[in-house]
Amino acid sequence: SRAALGIDHASSYTRERNTATALQRHLLPSRTPDLTTVETAHLYLPVSAGGDWFDVIELSGARVGLVVGDVVGHGIEVAAMMGRLRTALRTLAELDLEPDELLIHLDEIAARLASENVDADELDHDGDIPTGGRVATCAYAVYDPVKRHLTLASAGHPAPLLVSPEGEVATVEVEMGPALGTAHGTYETATHSLEDGAVLCLYTDGLLAGSDQAADTLRRVLTHQDRALSETADAIAYALADDQADDDAVLLLARARGLSEDQAVHWDLPSDPSVVAAARSLAGRQLVAWGLEGIAFETELIISELVTNAIRYGEGPVSLRLIRDRHLTCEVTDGSNTSPHMRRAHDTDEGGRGLYLVMSMSHRWGTRYAARGKTVWSQQLLPGRTDEGDPSPG
């Protein structure tokens, strides 16, 4: 009877672990976007059905968001928490928040999610989690291929490594903020310049938990820059295979590829309604130079609406930027923080359809805020290209 009970417990544990592992695998991205500005490779090593996750997020202005996180604990509940945090982070990233501001909001979300999963009598008198609120760690980085800058913030997560094109490995300096779940965390960003060909290595602590020599082994393997990132990820897995870690591990490698000077153009415009025609003319000539005459009509109409709104409702100075990458991006920046709102124009209205036209002719569009001012951007598909091959957010 005791042997049967032990076998039954072992079977139940195995089923729960397999279920949690399968759930986590389905909540992680099956593949990363095929980008021209960042080459990525990832590695997921499940051991104890933990809450490790990663993500690669395509942002406006040809920028890319890189994420690695780790939810504390093991089991189905932890895998579910990981999926909810990943979804929340992607939603916040789509709003083009800076990494430090994004982590502040994610910290509050993590605290609310954690409080939903505990009984009322387990909370303290303020309604907070008595363990100090440590729900997860996370590192979020944004790579800008136009400026060749990497902006990074960390919520209690191990500092990433940066490998130069010559194979020199260094730790990325960033001030580590509190882990997610306190609801009171504040975070700092660090900005670093990246050379073309430099590799950013993001990972969870489970990757180096097997032995004291794991960190040196990881650095040694990363020095070999003469191979594809997928081969480097496999080499890391084989090199650390003998170190018996008891925690899941995630590795995300990203090789930077900045845009060339002829892929991004910028014009400063006077804040005067007469400049709209000049903006259209400048954009039209650039599209001809890029061989994109096929979308010139739609692009010039989008620019007319965005520049007109910036002059009429915003503040100077006004600037226009075009970026040609996988898509054509039009960006209009002004000095006002007033958010544009799309409204439904009635049949008798003479105006109010500008943003609706921008949305109708764009693949994506949105607003990105800075310390002063905002950028309204529109993204169009290049002729002959579809996004059917890109992975879905899930």
Domain contains 40 = yes
- Global pTM exceeds 0.85: yes
Report residue 88's pLDDT band, with 50, 70 and 90 as the boundaries: very high
Q: How many domains does the chain have?
A: 2
Domain contains 394 = no
Contact criterion met (CB below 8 Å) for 337 and 321:
no
Domain contains 206 = yes
Neighbouring C-beta atoms of residue 199, cutoff 10 Å: 22
* Count of residues making up the chain: 394
Report residue 356's pLDDT band, with 50, 70 and 90 as the boundaries: confident
Q: For residue 49, give the CATH number of its domain.
A: 3.60.40.10
| Concatenated DSSP letters of 196-263 | TT-EEEEE-GGGG-S-TTHHHHHHHHHT--SS-HHHHHHHHHHHTTTS--SS-EEEEEEEE-PPPGGG
**Could you tell me if 252 and 265 lie in one domain?**
no
Of 224, 256, 288, which residue sits at a domain end? 256
**Could you tell me if 108 and 212 lie in one domain?**
yes
Q: Which of residues 322 and 351 earns the better pLDDT score?
A: 322
Q: Which value, to the nearest 10 degrees, does the dihedral of the CA atoms of residues 273, 277, 281, 283 take?
A: 50
Mean pLDDT in residue range 2-11: 84
**Could you tell me if 244 and 267 lie in one domain?**
no
Residue 6 has pLDDT above 90, yes or no: no
Give the strand order in the sheet containing 327-334: 264-269, 318-324, 327-334, 374-381, 364-369
Q: Which of residues 348 and 183 earns the better pLDDT score?
A: 183
pLDDT at position 20 is: 67
Range of the structural domain that residue 212 is part of: 2-256
Domain contains 87 = yes
**Could you tell me if 157 and 50 lie in one domain?**
yes
What's the whole-number average pLDDT of the chain? Answer: 86
**Could you tell me if 266 and 151 lie in one domain?**
no
pLDDT at position 337 is: 85
**Could you tell me if 220 and 302 lie in one domain?**
no
Residue 370 has pLDDT above 70, yes or no: yes
Residue 271 has pLDDT above 70, yes or no: yes
**Could you tell me if 107 and 69 lie in one domain?**
yes
Residue 129 has pLDDT above 60, yes or no: no
Of 256, 289, 311, which residue sits at a domain end? 256
Question: pLDDT > 90: what percent of the chain?
Answer: 57
Question: What is d(CA 173, CA 159) in angstroms, rounded to the nearest whole number?
Answer: 7
